[in-house]
Structure 1
């Protein structure tokens, strides 16, 4: 019988960010988690949404992994009006319970995890579906998601140049300065079109309320490009995406036909999901193919990465132990 747990670990935003996790380790964890789902060992659950106004809502995302046996839930409010008062519109927290007796073991700030898990999902997909010779990254929107993707993808591919577009030129400039500090060449683009025509790998993370929404076109993307649509495709013209050679999602059960996770694409035309990629059933067919991932980001990846951070933090005595 297991020893009774009498405490849990609390990890603040700074605690989480201080835990050393390499890019390849994060990408491998995504692959391992998806393989568990493919084998029926791990379970992904649909999001639970609690609207509180026309624009604001609370969301719960959860998942169950088996190695180790952990159930996690990420709870966050999305309040876009907070930007008017210079306050974050998104502040996630993650709770982990061991899944054998149901005892809570950790509470973590989910900000860094939300950013990096999304980038790790993109990197896993790109590792399997982008051209291995990809040497440039293109970003349409240059916020926290763009920086998280840059930090991971520069270590997965031999990246030499960054193309950046933001509605605010100053935002793109600040992002490029960070990329230049990583010894990368940068170019601030005057239009999203310039990014679509030049970058090997493209990340779009445009906020839903942005005026850029529905302006990007799939038929403008250069041959051989891989695209990760972190914004669920809402910055793209959905009809134009049918011109791409392959469009996949994270989980057909959640974002495919009849799924509860909405994406801006006709799910009937999806070629598959990341679970099929993890199984080795879905691969790039030709160097010239333009491949896109449109995904909602299931909570099981949050659970897997939060569990990894919890284990590492426990080993390194990071965080605050609280009594149950």
Structure 2
């Protein structure tokens, strides 16, 4: 059985191959039961979340991810997201690989946003604003840059010093990145606004979005969490990664559904429909689009298969 650590997992999940793998999986026949979602008490700290996410391709591969989100892990100098992925044979159940779940989660999340951007972002989009300074922020920069030729990248966070750290890391990778402290002013200018925070109160006001903007909401995964307000929902064509997940778990969708700002019919499509061409994406250069993701087990399976087959192929060549 292959055991892939953090660095090996990252190296096996290049952005272009990963985005392609997600596209193929969303278009395919992956089986994906409803994931287990449990809240865990952490004495003296914010509640944590435990997720168990199974998926399989009949006769090919089966896998399950165990992931936890501990929002106060920064107090211990640790990433908020921890976990692992177990990949098995879909024919015999044989254990094939144990893959670093934190890296897999972060990279497939950013790749899903980039895949959606292919259908929802203007072709001439060049300015990306990333809201949030966690480990996912740099991944979002790299992933979005894979599908659009970005020439300006802004990073905003509640802590300007951390925003500068992220911007500096992006500059080391060759991106024209800068930290910004005026969120509203930057939102009004940006072509793509990608949010990866744990906010419970909206950070993005829909009235700030310029015509043609794309809003990518990644962070919120509970009904109590919001990154954008109702005005953003009203102004945008709304898409989700999966209806089953976003319409029951994501506050950015659940709350507008509950207060009447959004109807179920107002969700224009999910990622599988965009990939298969059964729904249309952006319809005009002036439309505002919004993509909300909460993550789906098929995304993890796609990444796990890619990592396993990539590493196995490399070892066979060198063995």
Shorter-chain TM-score: what band? Answer: 0.7 to 0.9
TM-score by length of 1: 0.86
Q: 1:283 aligns with which of 256, 261, 281?
A: 281
Instruction: Write the deviation string for residues 186-231 of structure 1: whole angstroms up to 9, x where unpaired.
Output: 332223212311111111011246xxx3232122111111121001
Are the structure 2 counterparts of residues 23 and 14 from structure 1 closer, same or farther at C-alpha, using a change threshold of 3 Å?
Answer: closer
Q: 1:189 aligns with which of 173, 180, 190?
A: 180
Q: 1:109 aligns with which of 83, 97, 100?
A: 100
Query: Which fold has the larger relative contact order, with Cα–Cα distance below 8 Å and residues 6 or more apart in sequence?
Result: 1
Larger proportion of helix: 2
Instruction: Write the deviation string for residues 20-75 of structure 1: whole angstroms up to 9, x where unpaired.
Output: x4322111111101101xxxx21222220233317123211122235x81111110
C-alpha separation in 2, matches of 1:89 and 1:188: 22
Task: Tell me the residue number matched to 2:218.
Answer: 230
2:155/2:179 contact within 8 Å kept:
yes
C-alpha separation in 1, matches of 2:49 and 2:171: 37
What is the number of equivalent residue pairs in this alignment? 299
The gaps in structure 2 that reach 5 residues or longer are 258-263
Task: Tell me the residue number matched to 2:36.
Answer: 48
Worse-superposed segment, 131-140 or 224-233 = 224-233
Task: Tell me the residue number matched to 1:3.
Answer: none
C-alpha separation in 1, matches of 2:289 and 2:116: 10
Task: State the SS of the aligned residue for 1:317.
Answer: helix
Instruction: Write the deviation string for residues 163-199 of structure 1: whole angstroms up to 9, x where unpaired.
Output: 1111111111111112223343333222321231111
Residue 237 of structure 1 deviates from its aligned partner by 4.3
TM-score by length of 2: 0.87
Moved over 4 A (4+): none
RMSD: 2.0
Question: What is the 5 A alignment of 1:107-256?
Answer: 107-208=98-199, 213-232=201-220, 234-256=225-247
Task: State the SS of the aligned residue for 2:57.
Answer: strand
Are the structure 2 counterparts of residues 288 and 188 from structure 1 closer, same or farther at C-alpha, using a change threshold of 3 Å?
Answer: same
The gaps in structure 1 that reach 5 residues or longer are 1-7, 319-324
Task: Tell me the residue number matched to 2:252.
Answer: 264
Worse-superposed segment, 163-172 or 41-50 = 41-50
